[in-house]
C-alpha cells in the first residue's frame, strides 16, 4: 500500500473555486465516468462554503491511498480546536487501469495540486500590484516629506548667510556682492562678511568636504566658530588655528573644510589673509592687472588638532577688486568632461570689463553654467566679490607700504 498526501489552505471563496477546479481535474484523471468529476467537485464546493461561512480560514488534507487495484481519494478538514467536522468531506474509491504506473499517477496528482490555476495566478498578480502600489504611495509620501524637510533646511541654511545687497548701504568705502548655488537642497559651501569694528571688515569663503545634510551641519558649525573667534583679534592665522582645534576635537566622520579668510582695514587698504587649503583668491587691480593669491598657509580645517596657520598682508588700492570662490566654479565639467579650470577663470577676470561687484559675480557664475551645458551641477558654486573704494593720501599710503615691508 502506498500513500500520498497534500495540504491546502482556504481563506476566501476564491480559494474554494480554485480548489474545486483542481479536484475536478484529479477526479477526471481517476474516473471513467464523465459525470463523476462535476458531481464530486460540486458537492465538495458546497461543503467548503458552509465551513467558510462559520470560520475565517481552515486547512484541508488531501490523501491518496493506493493498493494493487484501487486508489482512494480522501479530503478532510485538518482537525483543530475550531474544526467543524472530523469526518471526511469527500471519500471516493477509483479502480486503477491495468498496467497503470502508480508513481506516474502520484506525479500527475502532484502537478495538479501544486500547479496554480489561472485565477490563482491572476490573484497573485493583483495582490503584488496592490502591494507595489501601496509601497509606491508610501515611498512617494516619504519622498515628499523628505523634500519638504530638505527645503526647510535649505531655507534655514541660506538664512545663515548675508543675503541683502548692498549689505552696508551707508558706507562708501566698500562694495560687496556674493552668491551661493547649492548642487543639492543643502550643501557645504558658505560665505560671510561682517565688520569687526568701524574699519575692519572680515571676509570668509569656505567649502566643506562632502555634500548633503552632514556637510550643511559642519558648514553651520564652522561659520559660527569663525565669526565668534574674531573677538580675539585681527589675526586670521590665530582665528583659523583656534577654529581648527575646536573642529578637530570631535571629528569622528573625518570631514574637513577649506577656508579663505581675510580682514580688510577699510581705512588703509591693508588686508591680512590666510588660505587653509582653499582655492586661490584673485585681486583685479584698477589698472586691469591680476594678482593671484596662491600661497596656502596651512592644511584644511578640522583635519588635525594642534595645527598653526600663517598669514600674509597685502595693500589694496582704491578701485581694486577681490574675488574669492569655491572649486564648484573651477572644477565644473562640461559635456566633454573638461574642467572650467583656474586658467579660464583667471582669463575671464583679466579680459572682462565688469560694471561692478554684482555684475562680476553674476557674469562668472553664468559663464560657468553655460560651460556646463546640459550636464548636472556636480558641486556647490559660491562666489564673493569685494571692491575697495576708500581714498587715502599719498603720505598715508607710503606709511602703510613701509609698514608692510618691515612686517615681511
Helix, strand, or coil (residue 387): strand
| pLDDT per residue as tens digits for the range 184-209 | 767 789 999 999 999 999 999 999 99
82: confidence class by pLDDT, cuts 50, 70, 90? low
Measured between alpha carbons, how far is 75 from 44 in angstroms, rounded to an integer?
A: 9
User: Residue 406: its pLDDT value, please?
Assistant: 43
Sheet holding 312-315, edge to edge: 189-195, 200-208, 257-265, 270-276, 312-315
User: Residue 408: its pLDDT value, please?
Assistant: 40
Are 89 and 48 a contacting pair, CB within 8 Å? Answer: yes
Q: Is the Cα dihedral 171, 172, 173, 175 positive or negative?
A: positive
404: confidence class by pLDDT, cuts 50, 70, 90? very low
Query: Regarding beta strands 70-77 and 281-284, do their DSSP bridges make them parallel or antiparallel, or are they unpaired?
Result: unpaired
CA distances from 343 to 31, 282, 329 (A): 91, 12, 11
Backbone angles phi, psi at 255, to 5 degrees: -85, 165
% of residues, the chain, pLDDT over 90: 48
| pLDDT per residue as tens digits for the range 104-130 | 888 888 888 888 777 777 777 888 888
392 pLDDT above the threshold of 90: no
Long-range contacts, 18-26 (Cβ 8 Å, 24+): 18/117, 18/119, 18/120, 19/44, 19/48, 19/60, 20/44, 20/45, 20/48, 21/117, 21/119, 22/112, 22/113, 22/117, 23/75, 23/90, 25/112, 26/73, 26/109, 26/112, 26/113
316: confidence class by pLDDT, cuts 50, 70, 90? very high
Geometric angle at alpha carbon 246, from 244 and 250, rounded to 5°: 110
399 pLDDT above the threshold of 60: no
Over residues 356-360, mean pLDDT = 97
Over residues 265-289, mean pLDDT = 97
Over residues 27-55, mean pLDDT = 86
Measured between alpha carbons, how far is 312 from 294 in angstroms, rounded to an integer?
A: 11
| pLDDT per residue as tens digits for the range 129-176 | 888 888 888 888 888 887 777 777 777 777 889 999 999 999 999 999
Are 281 and 322 a contacting pair, CB within 8 Å? Answer: yes
Q: Residues 6 or more apart from 151 whose CB is under 8 A from it?
A: 185
Measured between alpha carbons, how far is 377 from 366 in angstroms, rounded to an integer?
A: 13
Measured between alpha carbons, how far is 332 from 339 in angstroms, rounded to an integer?
A: 6
Q: What is the DSSP string of 198-231?
A: SSEEEEEEEEESS-HHHHHHHHHHHHHHHHHHGG
1: confidence class by pLDDT, cuts 50, 70, 90? low
The cell for 245 is: 582645534
Are 340 and 368 a contacting pair, CB within 8 Å? Answer: yes
Specify the pTM: 0.65
Lowest mean pLDDT across 83-97, 162-176, 289-303: 83-97
User: Residue 221: its pLDDT value, please?
Assistant: 92
Characterise 76 by phi-psi region: left (phi > 0), alpha (psi -120 to 50), beta (else): beta
Residue 65 β-bridge partners: 3, 72
Owner of C-alpha cell 596662491: 294
20 pLDDT above the threshold of 50: yes
Measured between alpha carbons, how far is 52 from 57 in angstroms, rounded to an integer?
A: 6
347 or 394, higher pLDDT: 347
Are 379 and 215 a contacting pair, CB within 8 Å? Answer: no
| pLDDT per residue as tens digits for the range 226-268 | 999 988 789 999 999 999 999 999 888 889 999 999 999 999 9
Measured between alpha carbons, how far is 142 from 140 in angstroms, rounded to an integer?
A: 5
405 pLDDT above the threshold of 50: no
Q: What mean pLDDT, rounded, does the chain reach?
A: 87
391 pLDDT above the threshold of 70: no
The cell for 242 is: 583656534
Measured between alpha carbons, how far is 315 from 401 in angstroms, rounded to an integer?
A: 7
Amino acid at each position: 500500500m502506498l500513500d500520498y498526501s497534500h495540504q491546502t489552505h482556504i481563506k476566501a471563496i476564491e480559494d474554494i473555486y480554485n480548489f474545486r477546479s483542481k479536484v475536478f481535474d484529479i477526479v477526471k484523471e481517476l474516473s471513467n465516468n464523465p459525470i463523476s468529476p462535476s458531481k464530486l467537485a460540486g458537492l465538495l464546493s458546497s461543503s467548503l462554503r458552509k465551513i467558510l461561512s462559520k470560520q475565517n480560514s481552515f486547512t484541508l488534507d488531501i490523501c491518496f491511498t493506493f493498493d494493487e487495484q484501487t486508489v482512494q481519494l480522501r479530503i478532510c478538514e485538518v482537525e483543530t480546536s475550531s474544526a467543524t467536522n472530523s469526518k471526511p468531506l469527500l471519500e471516493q474509491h477509483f479502480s486503477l487501469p491495468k498496467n497503470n504506473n502508480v508513481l506516474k499517477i502520484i506525479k500527475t496528482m502532484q502537478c495538479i495540486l501544486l500547479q496554480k490555476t489561472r485565477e490563482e495566478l491572476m490573484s497573485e498578480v493583483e495582490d503584488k500590484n496592490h502591494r507595489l502600489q501601496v509601497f509606491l504611495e508610501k515611498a512617494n509620501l516619504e519622498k515628499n516629506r523628505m523634500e519638504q524637510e530638505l527645503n526647510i533646511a535649505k531655507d534655514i541654511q541660506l538664512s545663515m548667510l548675508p543675503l541683502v545687497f548692498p549689505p552696508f548701504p551707508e558706507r562708501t568705502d566698500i562694495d560687496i556682492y556674493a552668491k551661493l548655488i547649492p548642487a543639492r537642497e543643502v550643501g557645504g559651501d558658505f560665505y560671510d562678511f561682517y565688520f569687526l569694528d568701524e574699519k575692519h571688515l572680515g571676509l570668509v569663503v569656505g567649502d566643506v568636504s562632502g555634500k548633503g545634510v552632514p556637510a550643511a551641519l559642519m558648514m553651520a558649525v564652522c561659520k559660527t566658530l569663525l565669526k565668534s573667534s574674531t573677538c580675539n583679534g585681527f589675526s586670521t592665522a590665530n582665528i583659523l588655528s583656534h577654529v581648527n582645534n575646536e573642529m578637530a576635537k570631535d571629528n569622528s566622520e573625518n570631514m574637513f573644510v577649506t577656508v579663505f579668510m581675510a580682514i580688510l582695514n577699510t581705512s588703509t587698504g591693508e588686508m591680512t589673509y590666510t588660505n587653509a587649503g582653499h582655492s586661490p583668491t584673485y585681486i583685479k587691480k584698477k589698472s586691469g592687472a591680476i594678482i593671484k593669491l596662491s600661497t596656502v598657509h596651512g592644511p584644511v580645517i578640522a583635519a588635525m588638532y594642534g595645527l598653526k596657520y600663517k598669514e600674509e598682508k597685502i595693500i589694496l588700492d582704491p578701485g581694486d577688486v577681490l574675488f574669492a570662490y569655491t572649486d564648484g566654479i573651477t572644477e565644473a565639467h562640461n559635456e566633454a568632461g573638461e574642467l572650467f579650470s583656474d586658467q579660464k577663470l583667471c582669463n575671464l577676470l583679466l579680459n572682462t570689463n565688469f560694471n561692478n561687484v554684482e555684475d562680476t559675480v553674476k557674469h562668472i557664475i553664468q559663464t560657468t553654467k553655460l560651460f556646463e551645458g546640459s550636464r548636472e551641477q556636480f558641486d556647490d558654486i559660491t562666489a564673493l566679490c569685494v571692491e575697495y573704494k576708500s581714498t587715502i593720501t599719498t603720505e598715508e599710503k607710503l606709511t602703510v607700504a613701509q609698514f608692510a615691508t618691515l612686517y615681511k
